[in-house]
Structure 1
């Protein structure tokens, strides 16, 4: 059921940064008759005495938004992040469509959970390990190195290619795993390195595929001389054909994490026929992808939120409403 126009629709855009992406979403919402208000989840509180729903959302008083788009969740202490995700869980439980919802955010932000779900769905991905034991982590690196593999050590919670380290067998030289740094939280998340593939003498690449509402809609090649291919780390965006193979794999990865929309990172694998899934991003940026995509991505996201997610929510509410009680028959 598509909703042609949504006059008065109020959408909370949960974000810790206001910029290009939020402006794009606000414009797309205005084109559908709605209004997008940017809110930092850090500024949202729980007050069970303030309103019937127990939440305090800046700009909404005692009311709730009609829908929520999650654009960013700021890092913080375990308690802070738990409270912020708790607000999203509460909104969903109160019947407010959340895009992506808290469970999807949790599945994608926690890279170890992403790896487990991809494995459970039998999707091709590099072997991955997560351990709190430094000795075990070093054994994994030694074993992989003996087999000729390098290993990428990633922050369990991280994005945009920040904090990645290449260890093990790197260009014929063994790079050992150092002691856990304080910022690592005494945890090693390790993934077998998939060397980038490029034409002879050319930089390697990977693919970013955008999935919206269960369907792959756009793709690009991220090209870089460095082994990290994130746009934020200087990779070049190039148009890419959205082949059936790329689309099927990206859609399956998004489905495995039960996501409304996702940026799926895929890597060609040398010596294998199967493309590898590297990451699934639940709060995916799309500025680079927009440069090589003919349609407006923010509008596609807003259309999916309104025409699918919000419409489904409205239909579910109608189904839950009790049937009207028939008036008693009047006696003659």
Structure 2
């Protein structure tokens, strides 16, 4: 074989992986992932969920603005925008078809749709955490104002009220007054919303976030002196800490139970006992964590996707 032929052979052998990110096409996280892919020699494309479309004949193929989806080696699923039930059902069905290999060639995905469906639902997540034996805050999930008021009284009249869906602390409030509780629950009932009422756990504003990336776990302490919320978006401060081996193994176990390869597990401080497992996020942001972390988190995500894609194809 000539030198030029050998070089061509090597180029084919090390053909770069092609990765697709579904979600917003611009922003800090997109730029981080694109730069990480560039450093790894991977081709990075992004497309919105709104650009998804499908063609069905004897075989189903899904397409987006970046091309036919099964031609990619791996997919990163980021934030899916609010939409009608029909649109959300279709978009999730597309993801299921891709992961199951029912729409052309099977493609590795971080995170797959089943994990997204479990983790986005705070009731389902809390239920599964409790069923697996992890301590969680005492919680009531109800559908009307009267049951919510009874739950509020049962839980000591100092509660966190949160929506089933949502992140970064949006829609979460602390209620300590029955009159305010009546107004809050009345509004949620009028909106036909599920009402999650959770006992407030002092001191508030303190938690540990475990960021799971494949088998790796990075740990961060978050604190907020002005609010019970520990989201960086709500003003909390973040610092990297040494990872506790037991908590790390528990975080990986939780991610696996929910079918997630990349996730954050939040554990709140509890002055009356052991820390409590609060939430699992299947589409965590990492801007605050990256600002205090010595490792490039986007590169760890890309490395995880490369590993998964090598096992899938």
User: Which shows bigger deviation, 23-32 or 152-161?
Assistant: 23-32
Q: 8 Å contact 2:52–2:62 — kept in the other structure?
A: yes
Q: 8 Å contact 2:62–2:70 — kept in the other structure?
A: no
Aligned pair partner of 2:181 in 172, 176, 195: 176
CA distance in 1, matches of 2:116, 2:235: 26
CA distance in 2, matches of 1:107, 1:253: 12
Aligned pair partner of 2:83 in 76, 81, 101: 76
The Cα RMSD (Å) is: 2.2
The residue that corresponds to 2:112 in the other structure is: 101
The residue that corresponds to 2:16 in the other structure is: 8
Higher-Rg member (1/2): 1
The residue that corresponds to 1:289 in the other structure is: 289
How many residue pairs get matched? 294
Partner SS for 2:136: coil
The residue that corresponds to 2:159 in the other structure is: 151
TM-score by length of 2: 0.87
Partner SS for 1:180: helix
Runs of 5+ in structure 1 lacking a partner?
198-203, 315-332
CA distance in 1, matches of 2:229, 2:25: 24
Is 1:142 matched up with 2:150?
no
CA distance in 1, matches of 2:14, 2:211: 25
Q: 8 Å contact 1:168–1:174 — kept in the other structure?
A: no
Q: 8 Å contact 2:22–2:76 — kept in the other structure?
A: yes
CA distance in 2, matches of 1:97, 1:241: 31
Q: 8 Å contact 2:160–2:174 — kept in the other structure?
A: yes
The residue that corresponds to 1:45 in the other structure is: 53
CA distance in 1, matches of 2:69, 2:290: 37
Runs of 5+ in structure 2 lacking a partner?
1-12
The residue that corresponds to 1:313 in the other structure is: 312
Q: 8 Å contact 1:267–1:275 — kept in the other structure?
A: yes
Q: 8 Å contact 1:167–1:177 — kept in the other structure?
A: no
Q: 8 Å contact 1:238–1:292 — kept in the other structure?
A: yes
CA distance in 1, matches of 2:188, 2:247: 36
Q: 8 Å contact 1:13–1:69 — kept in the other structure?
A: yes
- Give the deviation of 1:59 after TM superposition: 2.1
TM-score by length of 1: 0.82
Q: 8 Å contact 1:17–1:72 — kept in the other structure?
A: no
Residue-by-residue CA offset, 1:39-74 (whole Å, 9 max, x unaligned)? 11121022315x943312222148532210012111
Pick the structure with more helix per residue.
2
